[in-house]
Amino acid sequence: SHHKLRAKFPVDDRKVDPAFSRKQKIAEHRKSLPIASVEKRLGDEVRNNDILIIVGETGSGKTTQLPQFLFNAGFCRDGKTIGITQPRRVAAVTVAKRVAEECGVELGQRVGYSIRFEDVTSGSTRIKYMTDGLLLREALLDPYLSRYSVIIVDEAHERTVHTDVLLGLLKNVQKASLDARGFSEYFGGARAVHIQGRQFPVDIFYTHHAEPDYVDATLITILQIHLEERPGDILVFLTGQEEIESVERLVKERLQQLPEGSRKLLAAPIFSALPSEKQMRVFAPAPAGFRKVILATNIAETSVTIPGIRYVIDPGFVKARSYDPVKGMESLIIVPTSKAQALQRSGRAGREGPGKCFRLYPESEFEKLDDSTKPEIKRCNLANVILQLKALGVDDILGFDFMEKPSRASIVKSLEQLFLLGALTDECKLSDPVGHQMAQLPLDPIYSRALILASQFNCLEEMLITVAMLSVESIFYAPREKLEEARTAMKCFSCPEGDHLTLVNVYRASNEFLEKRTVGLSKEKNEKILRKWCKENFINSRSLRHARDVHSQIRGNVEQMGLRLASCGDDMLQFCRCLAASFFLNAALKQPEGTYRALASGQVVQIHPSSVLFRAKPECIVFNELVQTNHKYIRNITKIDYLWLAELAPQYYCMQN
């Protein structure tokens, strides 16, 4: 009888079906975006102009809507794809998910994304989000990017090195939001469309004095807002994963000290290494009565727009790449933001209504900030980019039409590095086969070279694992309150030769564990068991899982190239010699006082306490990473014999008496 009743008085679907009302909400949201009013005009302008510059306030709908407009306007009718590049992996993934939902399609079908080591697209993908670096790699195989009808270079104002190179290439191919004038001039007076934005007033607050500990100041501000201000979510800009995780923990601790009724605060982190299902959590509204505090890196400045923000906390720092062309050393350092960044951050508080921004430094400091951030191409090692340009047939790097030219010194230094690695000939041409092989691998040139050498040293199996493990965030996980236990756990894997073989041990131990325990189990069960194993052994399970993915992809690459996948077995010496031959540019000698001198740069460095060689302090080492905090620390270190350097890298070292 129920059926009859329904047939006679059909219930309004809209009221009972949550999926339907979500769809309707999304449709309404889309219509309300500033960009919606210029849909037709944008389609026409893109059709009539080879190059178009689109400028619009963050959140106006450029990233999510424009590709859909173009799709609807018929830009994919001939089976071609609309490609949208993003400087950040997180943005590519989260935006693709959102747009798939808006289109009501499954991710990986009409809408997909592709980032290094992860491709969620198919033959039917027509709207493809990807990192700018990935499109550059595609250009190696398809220099005219012929599968695309439109390329949208999103976030071009961020000026990552890949974006800059991509713009140079696109300009070449075509010879055929910030400073639109700069872009427009570069593209010979290209047409620009400005989308009218919406911005509510944001009150800016400064501290009276400089804060000695901005993490602590951040915590106090979060709790103050939570206890004293009207409802509305908080967005906090921090510099990286470690800082975010420690603030997340501290927020939880402090909440426990508050009366029960005041604990309705929910921390949601977002940073690039966070698994993507967790990244999506920042977009979910907080449960009724709760306030959300989003702990983000600068990805929340412009690349992803999070709804519901009314308060912004800006400690004023950002982690940035920095490169010293004289020393040939790249490092990550924490530096003050630029004025443009500070303004962009505070603007996030005024998207949906008037907001407040708390800058955790005195107003006098703001005046001292640089106006805008230097393009990355001016502060990074160019070896990778140059290798790719060479592979694309661009031989005259100094003459390449960059939007902003890197300094001659840094181009020359990177060319020299590539030459020393054997990628370039005396005439500065890509060498055959080494240079071509190196350009094919999606890795830093130094790691690509290591894999090629390893196939000659019969230890490619070990080197593949090493490179995969070095390509992810920290494998070991040592929470402060369990430091001793973590150290003991690490000892089971540690190898007296150094960190590289220690990482190989971890990887192999996880493999053995899985082989023994998981025969015939489902994938989910498998992952769960591995997570438990990781926890017991103080291993970061997310990093390990990522390393396993990276491993399987580069394994595919080297097999395709025909490299010999052999293991050196118990012959550690062979592997260490291969490390010396590969990483000779990062060799260091012990000094009398226990510090080290990096041979290439002359810098004085110290072994990081997390290294298995921290106490042993061998005479001569190679390392992979320089971290600059109060000290110059080196990480991922292996002991070598200094005589090997002259033997294995004679292009760089010779014996003196």
> Which residues of this protein are in contact with Mg ion, per CB under 5 A?
62-63
Cα–Cα distance between 377 and 287 in angstroms, integer? 43
Residues 28-87 that bind ligand ADP (CB under 6 A): 33, 56, 58-65
Cα–Cα distance between 356 and 368 in angstroms, integer? 22
Partner from Mg ion, ligand ADP, none binding residue 353, C-beta < 5-8 Å depending on class: none
Please say which residue, 299 or 640, places its beta carbon nearer to ligand ADP: 299
Cis peptide before 433 (omega within 30 of 0): yes
Please say which residue, 33 or 153, places its beta carbon nearer to ligand ADP: 33
Q: How many angstroms from the chain centroid is the CA of residue 208? A: 35
Instruction: Please report whether residue 347 would count as binding ligand ADP according to CB under 6 A.
Output: no
Site string for ligand ADP, 92-111 (x = CB under 6 A): --x---x-------------
Residues 253-312 that bind ligand ADP (CB under 6 A): 283, 305, 307
User: Which three-class secondary structure string do you get for 521-559?
Assistant: CCHHHHHHHHHHHHHHCCECHHHHHHHHHHHHHHHHHHH
Cβ neighbour number for residue 21 with a 10 Å cutoff: 13
Please say which residue, 282 or 465, places its beta carbon nearer to ligand ADP: 282
Nearest distance in Å: CB 215, Mg ion = 29
Please say which residue, 35 or 383, places its beta carbon nearer to ligand ADP: 35
Nearest distance in Å: CB 288, ligand ADP = 18
Quick check: 316 and 334 in contact, CB under 8 A? no
Nearest distance in Å: CB 240, ligand ADP = 22
Residue 507's alpha-carbon distances to 503, 519, 550, 552, in angstroms, are 6, 18, 12, 13
Please say which residue, 349 or 411, places its beta carbon nearer to ligand ADP: 349
Quick check: 65 and 30 in contact, CB under 8 A? yes
Partner from Mg ion, ligand ADP, none binding residue 114, C-beta < 5-8 Å depending on class: none
Q: With contacts defined by CB under 6 A, how many residues of the chain interact with ligand ADP?
A: 15
* Full strand arrangement of the beta sheet holding 148-153: 118-120, 111-115, 127-131, 81-86, 148-153
Nearest distance in Å: CB 154, Mg ion = 6
Cα–Cα distance between 30 and 44 in angstroms, integer? 20
Cα–Cα distance between 62 and 65 in angstroms, integer? 6
Cα–Cα distance between 61 and 196 in angstroms, integer? 11
Instruction: Please report whether residue 337 would count as binding ligand ADP according to CB under 6 A.
Output: no
Partner from ligand ADP, Mg ion, none binding residue 406, C-beta < 5-8 Å depending on class: none
Residue 430's alpha-carbon distances to 178, 208, 427, in angstroms, are 36, 57, 9
| Residue linked to tokens 């009366």 | 259
Please say which residue, 54 or 383, places its beta carbon nearer to ligand ADP: 54
The three-point CA angle 283-289-291 to 5° equals 45
Partner from Mg ion, ligand ADP, none binding residue 350, C-beta < 5-8 Å depending on class: none
Nearest distance in Å: CB 245, Mg ion = 26
What is the sign, positive or negative, of the torsion defined by CA atoms of 377, 378, 382, 386? positive
Partner from Mg ion, ligand ADP, none binding residue 297, C-beta < 5-8 Å depending on class: none
460-470 and 445-456 helices, crossing angle to 10°: 160
Phi, psi of 429, deg, nearest 5: -100, 160
Nearest distance in Å: CB 128, ligand ADP = 16
Partner from ligand ADP, Mg ion, none binding residue 307, C-beta < 5-8 Å depending on class: ligand ADP
Which residues, listed in sequence order, are joined to residue 628 by a DSSP beta bridge? Answer: 632
| Residue linked to tokens 């009302």 | 21
Please say which residue, 88 or 555, places its beta carbon nearer to ligand ADP: 88
Partner from ligand ADP, Mg ion, none binding residue 61, C-beta < 5-8 Å depending on class: ligand ADP
Cα–Cα distance between 57 and 63 in angstroms, integer? 11
Nearest distance in Å: CB 170, ligand ADP = 20
Nearest distance in Å: CB 59, ligand ADP = 4
> Do you know the residue count of the chain?
657
What is the sign, positive or negative, of the torsion defined by CA atoms of 503, 506, 511, 514? negative
Nearest distance in Å: CB 437, ligand ADP = 38
Q: Which SS3 state, helix, strand or coil, does residue 622 take?
A: strand
Quick check: 153 and 85 in contact, CB under 8 A? yes
Cα–Cα distance between 597 and 68 in angstroms, integer? 55
Cα–Cα distance between 626 and 601 in angstroms, integer? 12
Please say which residue, 283 or 533, places its beta carbon nearer to ligand ADP: 283
The three-point CA angle 29-32-37 to 5° equals 135
Instruction: Please report whether residue 149 would count as binding ligand ADP according to CB under 6 A.
Output: no
Please say which residue, 301 or 314, places its beta carbon nearer to Mg ion: 301
Partner from Mg ion, ligand ADP, none binding residue 283, C-beta < 5-8 Å depending on class: ligand ADP
Please say which residue, 195 or 613, places its beta carbon nearer to Mg ion: 195
Partner from ligand ADP, Mg ion, none binding residue 455, C-beta < 5-8 Å depending on class: none
Nearest distance in Å: CB 276, Mg ion = 18
Nearest distance in Å: CB 300, Mg ion = 12
Residues 570-609 that bind ligand ADP (CB under 6 A): none
Please say which residue, 189 or 231, places its beta carbon nearer to ligand ADP: 231
Please say which residue, 135 or 309, places its beta carbon nearer to ligand ADP: 309
Nearest distance in Å: CB 57, Mg ion = 10
Nearest distance in Å: CB 374, Mg ion = 22
Burial of residue 176 (CB within 10 Å: 0-12, 13-18, 19+) is exposed
Please say which residue, 62 or 310, places its beta carbon nearer to Mg ion: 62
Please say which residue, 59 or 445, places its beta carbon nearer to ligand ADP: 59
Cα–Cα distance between 590 and 615 in angstroms, integer? 13
Instruction: Please report whether residue 379 would count as binding ligand ADP according to CB under 6 A.
Output: no
Partner from ligand ADP, Mg ion, none binding residue 375, C-beta < 5-8 Å depending on class: none
Nearest distance in Å: CB 128, Mg ion = 16
Q: Given its phi and psi angles, is residue 216 left (phi above 0), alpha (psi -120 to 50 degrees) or beta?
A: alpha
Partner from Mg ion, ligand ADP, none binding residue 59, C-beta < 5-8 Å depending on class: ligand ADP
Give contact residues for ligand ADP (rule: CB under 6 A).
Answer: 33, 56, 58-65, 94, 98, 283, 305, 307
